Amino acid sequence: NLQDKLERAFKVLKGQGNITEINVAETMKEIRKALLDADVNYKTAKTFTDQVKQKALGQNVINSISPGQLLTKIMNDELTALMGGTTSELDLSKNPTIILIAGLNGAGKTTFSGKLANYLKEKKGKKPLLVAGDVYRPAAIDQLEVLGNQVGVPVYTDRTSTDPIAIAKAGVEEGKKNGNNVIIIDTAGRLAVDEPLMVEISAVKEATQPHEILFVVDAMTGQDAVNTAKAFNDRLDFTGVVLTKLDGDTRGGAALSIKSVVNKPIKFIGTGEKMDALDVFHPDRMASRILGMGDVVSLVERAQQQFDEKQAAELQKKIRKNQFDFNDFRAQIQQIKKMGNMKDLVGMIPGASKVLKDVEIDDNAFKPIEAIIDSMTPKERENPDIIDQRRRMRIAKGSGTSIEEVNKLIKQFMDMRKVMKQMSNPGMMAKMMRNMP
Ligand code: GDP
Ligand code: MG
User: Which of 242, 260, 281 is the last residue before a domain boundary?
Assistant: 281
Q: Are residues 235 and 316 in the same domain?
A: no
Q: Which atom of ligand 1 is least distant from the CA of 115?
A: 20
pLDDT tens-digit map of 258-298: 887 898 999 999 989 999 999 999 888 888 777 765 444 44
> Would the pLDDT of 322 be above 50?
yes
Q: What pTM does this model have?
A: 0.65
Q: Which atom of ligand 1 is least distant from the CA of 277?
A: 23
Q: Are residues 30 and 141 in the same domain?
A: no
Asked if the structure places residue 89 within a domain, the reply is no
- The answer to whether 352 is a known ligand-binding residue is no
Closest CA to 103 of 212, 214, 262, 207: 214
What is the extent of the structural domain holding 70?
Answer: 2-81+293-434
pLDDT tens-digit map of 155-190: 999 999 999 999 999 999 999 999 999 999 999 988
Confidence (pLDDT) at 221: 80
pLDDT tens-digit map of 131-154: 999 988 879 999 999 999 999 999
Q: Are residues 331 and 272 in the same domain?
A: no
- The answer to whether 245 is a known ligand-binding residue is yes
Q: Are residues 305 and 402 in the same domain?
A: yes
CA 131 to chain centre: 35
d(Cα 3, Cα 250) in Å, to the nearest integer?
Answer: 9
Q: Are residues 34 and 101 in the same domain?
A: no
> Would the pLDDT of 341 be above 90?
no
Q: Are residues 75 and 159 in the same domain?
A: no
Lowest pLDDT segment from 18-22, 63-67, 396-400: 18-22
- The answer to whether 277 is a known ligand-binding residue is no
Lowest pLDDT segment from 111-125, 311-325, 338-352: 338-352
Q: Are residues 200 and 106 in the same domain?
A: yes
> Would the pLDDT of 23 be above 60?
no
Closest CA to 319 of 435, 406, 413, 407: 413
The answer to whether 38 and 259 have CB atoms below 8 angstroms apart is: no
Q: Are residues 110 and 246 in the same domain?
A: yes
User: Which of 281, 301, 319 is the last residue before a domain boundary?
Assistant: 281
Complex ipTM = 0.99
User: Cα of 258 to ligand 2 centre, how many Å?
Assistant: 22
- The answer to whether 32 is a known ligand-binding residue is no
User: Cα of 287 to ligand 1 centre, how many Å?
Assistant: 24
Asked if the structure places residue 86 within a domain, the reply is no
Closest CA to 188 of 255, 258, 113: 113
Asked if the structure places residue 287 within a domain, the reply is no
Confidence (pLDDT) at 300: 47
Pocket test for ligand 1, best of 101, 197, 216, 273 (most atoms within 8 A of CB): 273
Confidence (pLDDT) at 64: 43
Confidence (pLDDT) at 248: 67
Ligand 1: which residue has its CA nearest to atom 27?
A: 273
**Total structural domains within the chain:** 2
When the pLDDT of each residue in the chain is averaged and rounded to a whole number, the result is 79
Confidence (pLDDT) at 392: 96
